[in-house]
Chain A
Amino acid sequence: MKRGKVSILEHELVPAHEIIADEELNVLLNKYKIKKEQLPKIKSSDPVSKEIKAEEGDVVKIRRSSRTAGSVLSYRLVVK
């Protein structure tokens, strides 16, 4: 028996993704003195990008669980 859509966001391998606002992005970029192009990337075709409706140019905040630090924030720039 098959079921309809499965929400991948609930999978234990998928950390919480969230699109961040410009103000938060500016704070981040100023803190590390970088441009947003220097962030790691995530594709707009990535299943999670699609799910949270992230578009090219957005920056997503990812709350990863870490073996050593417990919980860590990470950021990715959405690219084509």
Chain B
Amino acid sequence: MGDKKEVAKDLSNLGIDNEMAEQMQEEFILSELTVGRDDLLEVGADEACTDDILRMLGREEEGEIKLCDIEAKMNESPIPVSIKSELREKLRTVRMKLNAANVDAVLKRVEREYEKAKIEPREAVGIVAAQSIGEPGTQMTLRTFHYAGVGAIYITLGLPRIIELVDARKKPSTPAMKVMLEKEYAYTRNRTEELAMEIEVTHINDKQVSKIESSIDDMCVWLSLNTRELEKRYIKKEEIEEKIRDLDVLIEETKDGKFKIHPKIKTYHELLRLEGKVSNMLVKGIEGIKRAIVRKTPDGEYMLYTEGSALKKVLKIEGVDSTRTTTNNILEIADVLGIEAARNAIIEEMMNTLDEQGLDVDARHVTLIADAMTMAGDVTPIGRHGLAGKKASVLSRAAFEVTVDNLLDAAIHGETDELKGVTENVIVGQPIRLGTGSVELLAKSYGEMTK
């Protein structure tokens, strides 16, 4: 940002192009620079223009508030960022009528409304979240597989997917990844396809790639490669030869392009072992990624959808954008990117699943679930093996699932129930400690009152 005069000059040159003036204002807020009428006239601005420019920036002399002052006041306010930005837009449109006192009053009112909108202490937010997801859940498809807009890759959606997320399964039933690419790769189809092959797993015994036979006559394994398929997958014959040589065996190429592999010890058993070893060999790609499909995003960027997931390894591939590539396996995200990333992923996955089914659930309910699941530092499932099983109350656990086991265990260990939760108080017939039930009257004794 230059000095005052330069700014003034820029402004007057712009005339009163609104959009540009808006942009200039942004910079003014940042630099807290003030430009007066004199400054503008000094650089030879048009009189009429000067008035307009000054009105946009706010004139101190008439008690009109400057944008940077509004900003400063807002920064002190405890209201959330998203409300602030909404408020900023609205204040901007009516700024001409504002002075410092008005702005203070508006902010105070907004703060009060925000406080009012907050959830009351002791409200049963968990129950509300459960109901808010449970009810729309009854309208979800029960079909496990669903076409997900990504040609030929099937991804679990609907209710089964929600259950899977909440159970924090080790591996989802249809692991999949979205692989984003770095700029140099993302706009050329060829390079994207090359990368797809880099990621998609190719075993030597994949039907199209090669034929493996072992012959007892000459005690060796015959490997014939399909050159066309290899080219398609950007694999060189020498790479395969190299890999086999690493197995510590003798390999020779025959005239017709076949490979003849000799086992070290010439026994039938060794021969079979070698055949097994060769056919399971990984030629290219990442173990666990069955398929990678190239797609174009609406922004004209190429990306990959994969069937199967191996986040850690894929992130390390040159050309993969390691900041935007994700998987639908929550536990894998927790392992590679940490618990906070897992929390974000749970929210994303759940909201997407609900959205996809056309259900409108408030993000706060889903956020609460994600918070509860990641509270302990690892991803805890909800249910008898997870959160519900970790409850402190015996009666509450017994009321949930496997009643007898819980009561028996509790009896053996001599557990006590503090009767603090909802379920256990319902069981014993007491008022529950929620909402108005959570406060008690504290009476002063007669002696104290007369004092």
Contact = CB atoms under 8 A, between A and B. Distances in A.
A18 B22 CA distance: 35
Contact of B377 (A17, A70, A79): A79
B317 A47 contact: no
A7 B338 CA distance: 12
Nearest to B325: A11
B80 A41 contact: no
Tell me which of A2, A13, A46, A62 has the highest count of chain B C-beta atoms within 10 A of its own C-beta: A13
Nearest to B375: A40
Contacts of B339: 42-43, 46, 48, 76
A23 B315 CA distance: 38
B374 A40 contact: yes
Interface in B7-60: none
A23 B245 CA distance: 62
B81 interface: yes
A60 to B, nearest CB: 9
B228 interface: no
A2 B338 contact: no
Contact of B338 (A46, A64, A79): A46
State the main secondary structure of chain A at its contact with B.
Answer: mixed
B315 A6 contact: yes
Contacts of B333: 13
Nearest to A10: B323
A53 B371 CA distance: 23
Contact of B322 (A11, A17, A66, A72): A11
A41 B363 contact: no
A47 B318 contact: no
A60 B85 CA distance: 27
Contact of A2 (B84, B85, B316, B336): B316
A14 interface: yes
Interface string A48-80: 110000000000001010111111100010010
B335 interface: yes
The contact size tier of chain B is 35 or more
Tell me which of B84, B338, B375 has the highest count of chain A C-beta atoms within 10 A of its own C-beta: B338
A64 B367 CA distance: 12
Given A13-B345, A41-B376, A70-B81, A47 B335 contact: yes
Tell me which of A3, A6, A42 has the highest count of chain B C-beta atoms within 10 A of its own C-beta: A6
A17 B340 contact: yes
A21 interface: no
B344 interface: yes
A62 B344 CA distance: 12
B340 A2 contact: no
A12 interface: yes
B371 A1 contact: no
A15 B323 CA distance: 12
B338 A8 contact: yes
B340 A71 contact: no
Given A8-B341, A11-B341, A70-B85, 4 more contacts: A2-B316, A13-B340, A41-B376, A72-B80
Interface of B: 80-85, 198, 315-319, 322-324, 326, 333, 335-341, 344-345, 347-348, 363-364, 367, 371, 374-378
| Cβ-closest 4 pairs across A and B | A70-B81, A70-B82, A69-B80, A48-B338
